[in-house]
């Protein structure tokens, strides 16, 4: 098997999902005592989150680049960043890596194409919903992106940082998310992408009539496919 380099900690709640599911799916595919070869860096999210709120993205980019280079040096054969928002910085340092970086929005787009979705609602942090890095990537695959209204974006973002990143799953927050999803469906979305690695902890596909695509699930599947790509 190939070795996965996992950059996590943003937040650790979602990173544990990555680690568990990478191993579970590899074992499911191969059986026995098989598990995924992985090298991992898990950061302290607090100082990074503070820089995010201050709009200081260049120092964050440098931090991510250094960790990715360390993963590469440690023997990783590809890199997965276990968060959606930080993929906005990938273009700043990806060319300095000599191994592939599996971009989460590419994983999402391939799944959307497979299910025939052409117009999706996007839920994530304020950065993911307001900026173009995700929408542009999906547009390259012919997918149009809708985002919630400004007030609803604030609710989605607040729940992510104040609750989900701390492992809190509150029924009232789940209901608020479902109301936002319903609005996106009414605006013409034929699917909704959960483009934050923590949202899938709160909302499940069985909770809605509209198809949900968990970006974390799509990303993990692509990383597993890479790990197994040369298995004999």
Q: Note the pLDDT of residue 231.
A: 59
What pTM, to 2 d.p., does this model score? 0.90
| Residue 12: domain span | 4-103+218-228
* Digit-coded pLDDT (tens) for 163-189: 988 889 999 999 999 999 999 999 999
Q: For the chain, what is the domain count?
A: 2
- Shared domain check, 117 and 90: no
- Shared domain check, 41 and 74: yes
- Shared domain check, 192 and 137: yes
H, E, C per residue of 78-140: EEEECCCHHHHHHHHHHHHCCCCECCHHHHHHHHHHHHCCCEEEEECCHHHHHCCHHHHHHHC
- Shared domain check, 56 and 145: no
Q: How far is CA 148 from its chain centroid?
A: 18
- Shared domain check, 109 and 73: no
The average pLDDT across 4-30 equals 94
- Shared domain check, 199 and 141: yes
- Shared domain check, 98 and 110: no
CB atoms within 10 A of CB 32: 6
- Shared domain check, 208 and 112: yes
The average pLDDT across 147-166 equals 92
- Which CATH number goes with the domain that contains 56? 3.40.50.1860
pLDDT higher than 90, residue 110 = yes
- Shared domain check, 124 and 90: no
Q: Note the pLDDT of residue 166.
A: 86
pLDDT higher than 70, residue 116 = yes
**Catalytic residues, which ones?**
83, 196
- Shared domain check, 91 and 176: no
């Amino acid at each position: 098997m190939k070795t996965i380099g996992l950059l996590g900690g943003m937040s650790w709640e979602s990173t544990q999902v990555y680690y568990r599911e990478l191993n579970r799916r590899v074992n499911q595919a191969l059986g026995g005592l098989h598990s995924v070869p992985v090298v991992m860096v898990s950061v302290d999210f607090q100082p990074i989150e503070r820089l995010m709120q201050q709009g200081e993205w260049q120092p964050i980019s440098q931090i991510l680049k250094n960790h990715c280079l360390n993963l590469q040096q440690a023997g990783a054969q590809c890199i997965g960043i276990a968060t959606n928002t930080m993929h906005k910085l990938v273009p700043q340092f990806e060319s300095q890596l000599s191994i592939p970086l599996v971009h989460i929005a590419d994983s999402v787009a391939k799944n959307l194409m497979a299910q025939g979705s052409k117009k999706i609602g996007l839920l994530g942090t304020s950065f993911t919903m307001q900026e173009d890095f995700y929408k542009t990537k999906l547009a390259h695959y012919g997918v149009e992106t809708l985002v919630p209204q400004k007030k609803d974006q604030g609710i989605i973002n607040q729940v992510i940082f104040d609750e989900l990143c701390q492992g809190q799953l509150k029924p009232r927050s789940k209901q608020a998310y479902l109301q936002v999803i319903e609005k996106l469906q009414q605006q013409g979305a034929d699917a909704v992408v959960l483009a934050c690695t923590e949202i899938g902890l709160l909302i499940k596909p069985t909770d809605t009539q509209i198809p949900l695509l968990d970006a974390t699930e799509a990303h993990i599947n692509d990383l597993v496919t890479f790990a197994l790509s040369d298995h004999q």
